[in-house]
């Protein structure tokens, strides 16, 4: 089906919302409470548009496309309404971008930029809470940056179903709480970090990432999680050769963006100081550094000696269920094709 | 996997994680999914929110139980009795899928003969679940189709592990829950690439792609591909026999690649004795650990993120793993190390990278992987079987009840108790597993800040036992078995039933494997990590 947005013809799938169709067609409409995985909320009202034949402004994240629909996203009325909402949000929180972790990837900042807001024209009331909730090891919650969009609450309850986050209070005092308003570190939170991934602003951030890189300095590399057998797809956010953050690949199967505490925060063992860095040979009970040639030749000669003396089945090997397929393939090829034994196994059973 | 191979002809998760969220009924037995496979559990919990009926069978009241409509709190190691009890109800109340059974399965009469003995009352005596609950679960499973079964090591890590798996398979065949979306028998693999290591033939009986080493045609195929002659024609040793071989001198040179056997195998003292008696050990690893100290040579390995390759997940999906940095110092990819040793033996292997090994060797030699090439898995991975370049991959196996070896075979099995059961001296059953924030022997999570959540081993025990013994939460207790003893804080929790102690193998100090039993399933050689007898002593 087709619709017109700002005079441009856009092809859309039935069931899509106007916001989704616009996004698919490359047209930006500021929006804050909508996320593809947390769904329509219709709360923040930043995504309003004008639709020909409909009275008043329409909330584009809640409006399904219709064939032939004509939508305008930049009329003075639309922009004024959007600006008012963003002005109010900016005035009611501590939205200082300079050292914010989300600077450059903040949807509130994007909306303000689009609407040309340098500083909201209202009196700022930016400190409600003494300081952020730093009680948990991996996730930090700064309620003064929260815009009450509710994405974290929906994600915690409906995506990962850990059922920790909820809204408390109401109206101007609305806040996000863990369980019955416990510090996150004392709550039932399992630190999966889903809330941080869906937060549009800098209210919920990954502790490990704080101060590591500005968002525009990083590039993203997709890979597969090294822990359990689910095979979650990860986006590694890299600055040089350092991983500064891990997020779940939103479109990736099977996890579609979701991760657990290990997948999201268990990555930095690769940088540990005590990595093995040289081949080592034991002599008189002590390890000494050796060259690759020396170590390889020693292993080859020991295996050859055993095979010559006691037959091929006197050697055996255990492969690794954590390492890549190609490593296991070459190891079994070595045992079968070179050593001539089928004494090759791995911990398939633990 | 041997159990599923016996029943269906192939051993792997039959269905996919994506189907979990849409499922209508699921039995989770012996799987602490919220901690061991958290992302899979998200889908299960989502499905419950969408109206799915969840049934949990487990000795512990673990987190998934909160979402369950029915909960069977089994005694440790009684799965076969429980499952036979369910099948007894399905058969005697005429609730099973006759059409599926007649069309697609064999040996139904043998199954019937065996399970008739397991009336709910008889099964209840063994497994401790009320007869009425057994009836309710069976009737529920018969009334909602399709239904899926998920299990993890709670099923396999028993001396009767293979029988447990075959019982699960029997149940799903009887219900006609195979070959359909949102059904199936779904073993969740514990490690990121266990499925892959099996697929690659890092097993003593098969070449890559499950082609049997005893099959002359398979040997000829690989001899030709690898340019060698005389590939060995007998099945090799499994890990426990290799370890025993170190002490008996049957094994003279032993290669350990990325396994911390000294912490992860049952009965640490025994394992260390075996490693100690080895003549020559070579280890590939990324860190020094309890096992590397037994090595004569250590090869420093490239870690995750330091090499290009693939992992194959539990749902048979081959996923890319990318290199983002060089390995530290002189550390090298593991495939390169094996290639260099082959070279020292006079063999030149042409493939010089993960992608070359996969595209030019693995996918050419393993028919089910034939259509999987690196260019096709830049984004989402492909699920095998994927035999051709055009094949989209397979989300669920045994479509329309067509099993890999023709008909699904009912393998009737009797319940057998664990090798070591509680007695007057050791009155508790110790069962083991994993906790959410840690992973195995902690070589990685211990270096990634995860100790902030869980920093010390505990002995989890029931409030009833703690009260009886005068033990307070957090108090250091002595847990001992016939093999060893540990001193750890008690963690008093409602999760654990009376008479049970539950621990993990994440930490060297207090590691459950100082206590566990080396008894294993006679066929799969999987050790009975889930059951041994211990005593808890207040200090």
Cα A34 to chain centroid, rounded: 16
* Residue in this structure with the two tokens 């269906």, named with its chain if needed: B8
Between chains, do B345 and A345 touch, taking CB under 8 Å as contact? no
**Extended beta strands in B160-308, E state:** 185-187, 206-207, 211-212, 253-257, 280-285, 297-300
d(CA B305, CA B327): 9
Question: Residues 273 to 302 of A: which have CB under 8 A from any B CB?
Answer: 274-282, 287, 290, 292, 295-300, 302
d(CA A61, CA A82): 14
Per this entry, what is the length of chain A?
A: 350
Q: How confident is the model at residue A131 (pLDDT cuts 50, 70, 90)?
A: confident
Taking the Cβ of residue A210 and every Cβ of chain B, the question of whether any pair is shorter than 8 Å is answered with no
pLDDT at A125: 73
String of DSSP letters for B523-538: TT--B-TT-EEEEEEE
Give the model's pLDDT for residue A349.
64
Q: How confident is the model at residue B126 (pLDDT cuts 50, 70, 90)?
A: very high
Q: What is the pLDDT of residue B9?
A: 65
Contact A332 B231 (CB under 8 A): no
Please give the Cα distance from A126 to B160 (Å, whole number).
63
Residue contact A275–B328, C-beta within 8 A: yes
Distance CA B166, CA B29 (A): 13
**Per-residue model confidence (pLDDT) at position B406:** 81
Token code pair at residue B318: 């081959």
Instruction: Name the token pair of B18.
Output: 């994506």
DSSP string over B125-165: HHH---HHHHHHHHHHHHHSSS-EEEE-HHHHSSTTHHHHH
Q: What is the mean pLDDT of chain B?
A: 95
pLDDT at A173: 84
In chain B, what percentage of residues exceed pLDDT 90?
93
Q: Shortest CB distance from A329 goes to which of B322, B325, B361?
A: B361
Residues 141-180 of A with CB under 8 A from B: 158-161
Which residue in chain B has the smallest CA separation from A344? Answer: B204
Confidence label for B29 from pLDDT (cuts 50, 70 and 90) = very high
pLDDT digits (tens, 9 = 90+) for B59-81: 999 999 999 999 999 999 999 99
Please state at what angle helix B120-127 crosses helix B79-92, rounded to 10 degrees: 170
Distance from CA of B38 to the nearest CA of A (A): 6
Topology match between the domains B2-188 and B194-390: no
Count the Cβ atoms, other than its own, within 10 Å of residue A100: 19
Residue A236 φ/ψ, nearest 5 degrees: -90, 125
Q: Peptide bond before B385: cis, by omega within 30 degrees of 0? A: yes
Range in B28-32, B203-207, B399-403 the model is least confident about? B399-403
Residue B203 β-bridge partners: B206
Q: Which CATH architecture has domain B2-188?
A: 3-Layer(aba) Sandwich (3.40)
Q: If phi over 0 gives left and psi between -120 and 50 gives alpha, with beta otherwise, what is residue A72?
A: beta
Residue A123 banded pLDDT, cuts 50, 70, 90:
confident
Q: Which of B15, B22, B41, B42 to mutate to test the interface with A (most CBs of A within 10 A)?
A: B42
Which of A168-177, B115-124, B478-487 is the least confident region? A168-177
| Contact criterion met (CB < 8 Å) for A336 and B232 | yes
Predicted pLDDT at A120: 84
Residues near A20 by beta carbon (within 8 Å), at least 6 away in sequence: A12
- CA distance readout (Å), A329 to A345, B39, B202, B217, B534: 12, 28, 7, 20, 40
Q: Which residues of A touch B380 (CB under 8 A)?
A: 233, 252-253
Among B335, B356, B446, which would you mutate to test the A interface (most chain A Cβ atoms within 10 Å of its Cβ)?
Answer: B335
| Domain positions in chain B | 2-188, 194-390, 428-538
Q: Where along chain A do its domains lie?
A: 2-91, 132-271, 280-346
- Identify the burial level of B85 via C-beta atoms within 10 angstroms of its C-beta, where 0-12 means exposed, 13-18 middle and 19 or more buried: buried
The CATH fold of domain B194-390: Rossmann fold (3.40.50)
Phi and psi torsions of A127, nearest 5°: -120, 105
What does DSSP assign to residue B100? Answer: H
The fold for domain A2-91 equals: Ubiquitin-like (UB roll) (3.10.20)
Dig out the tokens for B371 from the structure. Answer: 């259509």
DSSP A90-117: HHTTT---TT-TTTTS-HHHHHHHHHT-
> How many angstroms separate the CA of residue B82 from the nearest CA in chain A?
23
Task: Average the pLDDT over A155-173 and give the result.
Answer: 94
- Separation of alpha carbons B198 and B206, rounded Å: 9
**Residue B526 contacts residue B156 (beta carbons within 8 Å):** yes
Topology of the domain covering A132-271? Alpha-Beta Plaits (3.30.70)
Which of A241-245, B4-8, B33-37 has the lowest average pLDDT? Answer: B4-8
- pLDDT tens for A228-255 read 999 999 999 999 999 999 999 999 999 9
Residue A159 has pLDDT above 70, yes or no: yes
- The pLDDT of residue A350 is 52
Q: Which of B30, B309, B247 is nearest to B154 (CA)?
A: B30
**Contact criterion met (CB below 8 Å) for B519 and B527:** yes
Q: Which tokens hold the place of B420? A: 């070591």
Q: So what's the ipTM on this one?
A: 0.96
pLDDT at B8 over 80: no
Quick one: pLDDT at residue A152? 98
pLDDT at A242: 97
- Cβ pair B436:A253 closer than 8 A: no
pLDDT of B1 over the 70 cut:
no
Q: What value does the mean pLDDT take over residues A333-339?
A: 98
Distance from CA of B65 to the nearest CA of A (A): 13
* Count of CB pairs separated by less than 8 Å, A with B: 447
Closest-CA residue of B relative to A231 is: B313
Contacts of A54 (CB under 8 A, 6+ apart): none
Cα gap A121→A141, rounded to integer Å: 27
Q: What is the reported pLDDT for A124?
A: 80
Instruction: Give mean pLDDT, residues B486-494.
Output: 97
B202–A313 CB contact, under 8 Å: no
pLDDT band for A171, please (50, 70, 90 cuts).
confident
> Are the C-beta atoms of A99 and A210 separated by less than 8 Å?
no
Average pLDDT over residues A186-209: 98
Asked if A295's CB is within 8 angstroms of B46's CB, the reply is no
Angle, alpha carbons A94-A97-A103 (nearest 5°) = 130
Q: How confident is the model at residue B215 (pLDDT cuts 50, 70, 90)?
A: very high
Q: Quote the CA–CA distance of A16 and B144 in Å, as a whole number.
A: 32
Distances (CA, A) of B132 to B71, B129, B135, B171, B232: 12, 8, 5, 18, 54
Percent residues over pLDDT 70 in chain A: 99
Give bridge partners of residue A194 from the DSSP assignment: none
Measure CB to CB from residue B311 to each of A161, A279, A324 and give the nearest one.
A324
CATH for B428-538, among 1.20.58.220, 2.40.40.20, 3.40.50.2300, 1.20.1090.10?
2.40.40.20
For A293, counting Cβ atoms within 10 Å of its Cβ (0-12 exposed, 13-18 middle, 19+ buried), the class is: exposed
Q: Is B19 left (phi over 0), alpha (psi -120 to 50) or beta?
A: alpha
Average pLDDT over residues A75-101: 94
CB contact under 8 A, B207 and A330: no
């Amino acid at each position: 089906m087709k619709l017109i947005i700002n005079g441009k013809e856009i092809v859309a799938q039935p069931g899509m919302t106007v916001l989704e169709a616009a996004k698919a067609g490359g047209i930006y409409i500021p929006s804050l409470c909508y996320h593809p995985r947390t769904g329509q909320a219709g709360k923040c009202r930043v995504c309003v548009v004008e639709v020909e034949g409909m009275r008043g402004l329409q909330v584009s994240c809640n409006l399904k496309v219709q064939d032939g629909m004509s939508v305008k996203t930049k009329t003075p009325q639309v922009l004024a309404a959007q600006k008012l909402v963003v002005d109010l949000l900016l005035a009611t929180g501590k939205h200082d971008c300079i050292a914010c972790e989300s600077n450059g990837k903040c949807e509130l900042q994007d909306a303000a930029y689009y609407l040309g807001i340098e500083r909201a024209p209202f009196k700022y009331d930016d400190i409600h809470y003494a300081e952020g909730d730093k009680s948990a090891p991996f996730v930090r919650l700064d309620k003064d940056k929260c815009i009450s969009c509710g994405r974290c609450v929906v994600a915690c309850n409906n995506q990962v179903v850990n059922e920790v986050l909820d809204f408390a209070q109401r109206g101007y005092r609305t806040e996000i709480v863990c369980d019955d308003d416990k510090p996150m570190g004392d709550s039932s939170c399992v630190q999966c970090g889903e809330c941080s991934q869906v937060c549009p602003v800098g209210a919920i951030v990954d502790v490990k990432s704080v101060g590591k890189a500005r968002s525009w300095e990083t590039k993203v590399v997709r890979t597969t999680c090294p822990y359990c057998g689910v095979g979650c797809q990860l986006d590694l956010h890299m600055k040089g050769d350092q991983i500064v953050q891990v997020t779940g690949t939103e479109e990736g199967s099977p996890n579609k963006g979701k991760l657990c505490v290990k997948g999201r925060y268990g990555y930095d063992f690769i940088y540990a100081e005590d990595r093995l860095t040289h081949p080592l040979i034991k002599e008189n009970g002590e390890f000494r550094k050796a060259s690759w040639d020396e170590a390889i030749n020693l292993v080859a000669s020991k295996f050859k000696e055993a095979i010559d003396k006691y037959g091929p089945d006197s050697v055996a090997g255990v492969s690794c269920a954590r390492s890549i397929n190609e490593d296991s393939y070459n190891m079994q090829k070595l045992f079968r094709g070179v050593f001539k034994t089928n004494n090759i196994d791995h911990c398939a059973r633990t | 996997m041997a159990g599923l191979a016996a029943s269906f002809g192939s051993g792997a998760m039959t269905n996919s994680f994506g189907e979990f969220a849409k499922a209508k009924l699921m039995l989770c037995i012996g799987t602490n999914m919220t901690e061991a496979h958290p992302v899979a559990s998200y889908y299960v919990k989502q499905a419950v929110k969408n109206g799915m009926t969840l049934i949990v069978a487990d000795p512990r009241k673990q987190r998934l139980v909160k979402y369950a409509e029915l909960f069977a709190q089994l005694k440790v190691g009684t799965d076969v009795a429980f499952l036979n009890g369910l099948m007894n109800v399905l058969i005697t109340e005429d609730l099973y899928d006759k059409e599926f059974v007649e069309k697609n399965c064999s040996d139904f009469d043998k199954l019937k003969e065996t399970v008739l003995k397991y009336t709910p009352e008889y099964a209840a005596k063994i497994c401790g679940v009320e007869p009425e609950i057994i009836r309710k679960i069976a009737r529920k499973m018969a009334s909602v189709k399709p239904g899926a079964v998920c299990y993890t090591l709670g099923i396999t890590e028993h001396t009767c592990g293979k029988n447990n798996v075959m019982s699960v398979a029997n149940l799903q065949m009887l219900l006609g829950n195979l070959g359909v979306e949102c059904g199936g028998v779904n073993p969740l693999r514990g490690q990121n690439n266990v499925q892959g290591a099996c697929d690659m033939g890092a097993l003593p009986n098969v070449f890559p792609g499950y082609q049997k080493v005893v099959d002359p045609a398979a040997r000829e195929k690989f001899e030709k591909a690898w340019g060698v002659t005389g590939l060995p024609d007998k099945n090799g040793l499994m890990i426990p026999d290799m370890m025993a071989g170190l002490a008996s001198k049957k094994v003279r040179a032993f290669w350990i690649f990325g396994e911390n056997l000294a912490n992860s195998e049952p009965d640490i003292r025994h394992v260390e004795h075996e490693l100690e008696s080895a003549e020559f050990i070579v280890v590939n690893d990324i860190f020094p650990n309890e096992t590397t100290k037994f090595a004569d040579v250590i090869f420093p390995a490239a870690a995750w993120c330091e090499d290009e390759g693939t992992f194959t997940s539990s749902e048979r999906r081959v996923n890319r793993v990318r290199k983002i940095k060089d390995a530290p110092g002189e550390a090298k990819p593991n495939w390169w190390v094996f290639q260099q040793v082959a070279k020292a033996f006079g063999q030149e292997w042409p493939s010089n990278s993960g992608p070359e090994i996969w595209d030019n060797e693995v996918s050419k030699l393993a028919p089910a992987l034939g259509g999987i090439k690196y260019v096709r898995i830049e984004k989402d991975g492909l699920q095998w079987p994927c035999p051709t370049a055009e094949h989209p991959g397979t989300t669920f196996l045994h479509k329309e009840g067509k099993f890999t070896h023709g008909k699904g075979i009912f393998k009737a099995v009797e319940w057998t108790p664990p090798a070591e059961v509680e007695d007057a001296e050791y009155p508790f059953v110790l069962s083991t597993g994993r906790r959410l924030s840690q992973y195995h022997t902690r070589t990685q999570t211990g270096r990634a800040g995860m100790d902030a959540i869980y920093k010390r081993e505990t002995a989890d025990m029931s409030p009833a036992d703690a009260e009886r013994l005068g033990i307070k939460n957090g108090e250091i207790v002595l847990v001992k078995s016939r093999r060893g003893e540990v001193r750890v804080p008690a963690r008093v929790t409602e999760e654990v039933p009376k008479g049970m102690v539950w621990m993990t193998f994440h930490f060297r100090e207090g590691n459950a494997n100082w206590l566990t039993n080396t008894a294993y399933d006679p066929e799969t050689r999987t050790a009975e990590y889930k059951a041994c007898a211990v005593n808890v002593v207040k200090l």
